Amino acid sequence: MSTIYREPEAPLSSYPAVHEMEAVRVPAEGEGGVYTQSWFPLCLSSEIASGAIVGVPFLGGRVIIYRDEQGLPRVQSAYCPHVGADLSLGKIVDGKVQCPFHKYEFDVDGRCVKTGIGDPPPRGARLFSFPAEERYGVIWAFNGEAPLFQLPSFAYPEDELEIEVYVGPPTNCDGWVFATNTCDVQHLVHLHEMKEIDVQGIQERAVWNDWGFIYNLKGIHGVGCRIDWDISMRGSTSFYQQGMVDDWWLGIMVGFSLPGPQEHRAFVINAVRREADTDEARKRAREQLGYAAHLSEFTVLQDAVILQTMHFRPRAFTRTDRLLAKFLRYLKKYPRAHPSAPLIN
Ligand code: FES
Ligand SMILES: [Fe+2]
């Protein structure tokens, strides 16, 4: 795996001066015709029934989502290469996507394998096939020919978890702007009203890897519970955290969608652990999920109110913004591409 960002392991002790902040300006999604290469949530698993084809906006264009004969999600460009009909109006026939207009058919790799009229399929006629994953009740696609890294996972197997997913309102900024929250230590104190957190120490102890970072956050959350969480980013838009809320484990993963430039929705996944296969354990897990919904809704809504109207302009940082400054440098150098552009637009 290639290394995209490395700094010496020495503790962070500096932060950019005001006049240097312009140098860490992060390109907007779509700027120069390219987008960050990351995993993006597209829809809920429950929206893709067997045999259905669903169309959604992605990367400023449109894709279709359906299930193959094994039930695995497939994500492909939505416009038929013949004359451009929207394939979400088509149907699945013998495991292939059939265009509604002249009945061309496309296999799971996007190859045109048949025309309706009986002519041989045009050479090179194909759909763009995105790497796709189904994880924790959400269908994700990677912006690229092949994933540069894998989606994160929680510490416990999925069959031990009780999971609830909700989708936030449309928000008028790039998902990575919301993702900067993970490093914005000042807002943890002042917006989310967290107490007893080691504001400077968590910045010194953050551990970076090729595709993000992890740091430990202990304290009292604004809703009143005691937290001990490992907070992580992977890629440009997958935020995940896991750890203890008082005496029970909670995992939260948030993926920011990318329908087009300067817009996104937050897909929020709450996961708690079912400690045994009993009605009592299931009841306790449901109660914990109820509290988790309150906790993450409280936090995400506080952020969303600010994000709806802000103009993200990092210019005047202080010492307590050094983790945020480092994340902006990481995002500035982040790989960007748009290989599906000729086929999804
Ligand atoms: S537009 Fe799809 S087969 Fe003609
Ligand atoms: Fe926040």
**DSSP per residue, 275-287:** -SSSHHHHHHHHH
307-323 pLDDT, tens digit per residue, is 889 999 888 888 899 89
The CATH architecture assigned to 49-142 reads 3-layer Sandwich (2.102)
Every domain of the chain and the residues it spans: 49-142, 158-332
Confidence of residue 9 (pLDDT cuts 50, 70, 90): very low
Ligand with smallest separation from the Cα of 177:
2
Q: Which two tokens stand for residue 238?
A: 């997958």
d(C-alpha 39, C-alpha 130), whole Å: 10
Atom of ligand 1 nearest to the CA of 100: 2
118-144 pLDDT, tens digit per residue, is 999 999 999 999 999 999 999 999 999
Say which residue, 296 or 216, is predicted with more confidence: 216
152-210 pLDDT, tens digit per residue, is 999 999 999 999 999 988 999 999 999 999 999 999 999 999 999 999 999 988 999 99
Predicted pLDDT of residue 13: 52
Return the SS3 of 322.
helix
236-293 pLDDT, tens digit per residue, is 989 999 999 999 999 999 999 999 999 999 999 999 999 888 999 999 999 999 999 9
- The domain defined by 158-332 folds into Naphthalene 1,2-dioxygenase Alpha Subunit; Chain A, domain 1 (3.90.380)
Residues lining ligand 1, judged by CB closer than 6 Å? 80, 82-85, 99, 101-102, 104
Question: Do 49-142 and 158-332 have matching folds?
Answer: no
Residue 252: which of 235, 234, 268 has the closest Cα?
268
pTM of the complete model: 0.93
Atom of ligand 1 nearest to the CA of 102: 3
d(C-alpha 323, C-alpha 189), whole Å: 15
Q: Which two tokens stand for residue 23?
A: 């140098």
Atom of ligand 1 nearest to the CA of 83: 1
Q: Region of 144 please: left (phi>0), alpha (psi -120 to 50) or beta.
A: left
Say which residue, 179 or 297, is predicted with more confidence: 179
CA 219 from centre of chain: 26
| Half-sphere exposure (Cβ direction) of 334: Cα atoms closer than 13 Å | 30
